[in-house]
Chains A and B, each alone.
Chain A
Amino acid sequence: MSTLSVKVWRGTESGHYQEFEVPRLESQTVLDVVTYIQRSLDPTLSYRFACRVGMCGSCAMTVNGKARWTCRTHVSKVAENDCIEIAPLHNLPVVKDLVTDMQPFFDKWAQAQGRFQGNKTRKDDFERVQPESRERTLVDAGIECIGCGVCYSSCDVVAWNPDYLGPAALNRAWTLVNDVRDTGNKTRLAAVAGDAGCHACHTHMSCTERCPKQLSPTAGIAGLKRAVLTAALKGEL
């Protein structure tokens, strides 16, 4: 049976790569590899996963330098000469080994006013939103984000400016800007218009390149820039 040489990050912010030899199996995913190491070779290895089928977004790691969902990444797709290197997501504090602290990532969703704000009660009738309407089409383009952090980890602007809200939070803000039921856009646009908001994006498009759901946060960020400009010209900001 052929084997796979796997380098796995051990430690916190400072640490080292530890090498393991893992049996190579057909249709093996990177998450299978990490699980094999933890269950058969070194039970002290820490990593995070839940659904194993690309729904929860908790198993994202850096595989051969690129952020990915490990559960949906086949070894055959990423192995170079039967070697893979697995590290925690970049741009986030490392708790231990492959586990990052996602708090800064989710705090920024809150800072970008990523919470729906409506003005109706359960006694009101349903809002009628036409699926083909321009706003709903724009919402649809970005709504499938599951908050895995791959875009945030891939973004250089996050590394350059730690306050930058990041692609996922801005994408969330953009879906709410286009939600006709939402009433919080004034504060939302103000929240995303600052130095650490949409205008800080350098259009590297790494988020769009790496998003496992094929979303384009860059498109949402460009939309936010236009929305902020329009609001500023109208004197609303």
Chain B
Amino acid sequence: MKNDFRARSHPAYWAFIVHRVSGLLLSLFLPLHFWALGQALQGEAGLESFLRWTDRPLLKFAETAVVVLLAMHMAGGVRLLMLEFMAWRDWQKSLLAVAAGVSLAAGLAFLLNIV
């Protein structure tokens, strides 16, 4: 017999899901990122017109989501490195909360910058 969601409903498992899903979504975004940078190869105007196109509110909203995803993946990754390479600490759940807080703060800072 296998575990279902009831066995998995605890903060460290949610952190695993967030880390895994943010990583997968970022890997989907990465080709788009390189394609956008590749526009510069056709000259400054090509990249510039693409960047102006991304100034639309909906795209800025999507960009904020990417920033939050990046922050979540990084904060989660730092947490894992601390967990594996530093001495064990009993406040692992607080570390999770700090990682979540840092991610949210990064997203808010980005939003404040563009609004």
Residues of A at the B interface (CB closer than 8 Å) are 9, 13, 62, 64-67, 87-88, 90-91, 94, 141, 153-154, 156, 159, 202-206, 208-210, 216, 218-219, 222-223, 225-226
Contact = CB atoms under 8 A, between A and B. Distances in A.
Given A219-B88, A222-B84, A202 B7 contact: no
A222 B7 contact: no
Given A204-B16, A205-B13, A65 B83 contact: no
Interface in B1-40: 1-8, 10, 12-13, 16
A219 B85 CA distance: 11
Contact of B3 (A94, A154, A208, A219): A154
B84 A87 contact: no
A226 B3 contact: no
Interface of B: 1-8, 10, 12-13, 16, 80, 83-85, 88, 90, 92
A70 to B, nearest CB: 16
Contacts of B84: 203, 222, 225-226
A223 B88 CA distance: 8
A167 B84 CA distance: 15
B88 A205 contact: no
B10 A94 contact: no
Given A91-B1, A154-B7, A205-B10, 8 more contacts: A65-B3, A66-B7, A90-B7, A204-B13, A204-B16, A206-B3, A210-B7, A225-B84
Contact of A203 (B2, B6, B16, B90): B16
A67 B7 contact: yes
A160 to B, nearest CB: 10
Contacts of B16: 202-204
4 residue pairs, one from A and one from B, having the closest CB atoms: A65-B6, A205-B12, A219-B88, A209-B10
Contact of A204 (B1, B5, B12): B12
21 contacts: A9-B1, A13-B1, A65-B3, A65-B4, A67-B7, A90-B7, A141-B88, A153-B3, A154-B3, A159-B2, A202-B16, A203-B80, A204-B8, A204-B12, A206-B12, A208-B12, A209-B10, A210-B7, A222-B83, A223-B88, A226-B84
B77 to A, nearest CB: 11
Contacts of A159: 2-3
A206 to B, nearest CB: 6
B12 A88 contact: no
A206 B92 contact: no
Contacts of B7: 62, 65-67, 90, 154, 206, 210
B2 A206 contact: no
Contacts of A154: 3, 7
A97 B80 CA distance: 39
A203 B3 contact: no
B8 A90 contact: no
B1 A206 contact: no
B13 A64 contact: no
B61 to A, nearest CB: 32
B85 to A, nearest CB: 7
B10 A206 contact: yes
A6 B6 CA distance: 17
Given A66-B7, A156-B8, A204-B16, A222 B1 contact: no
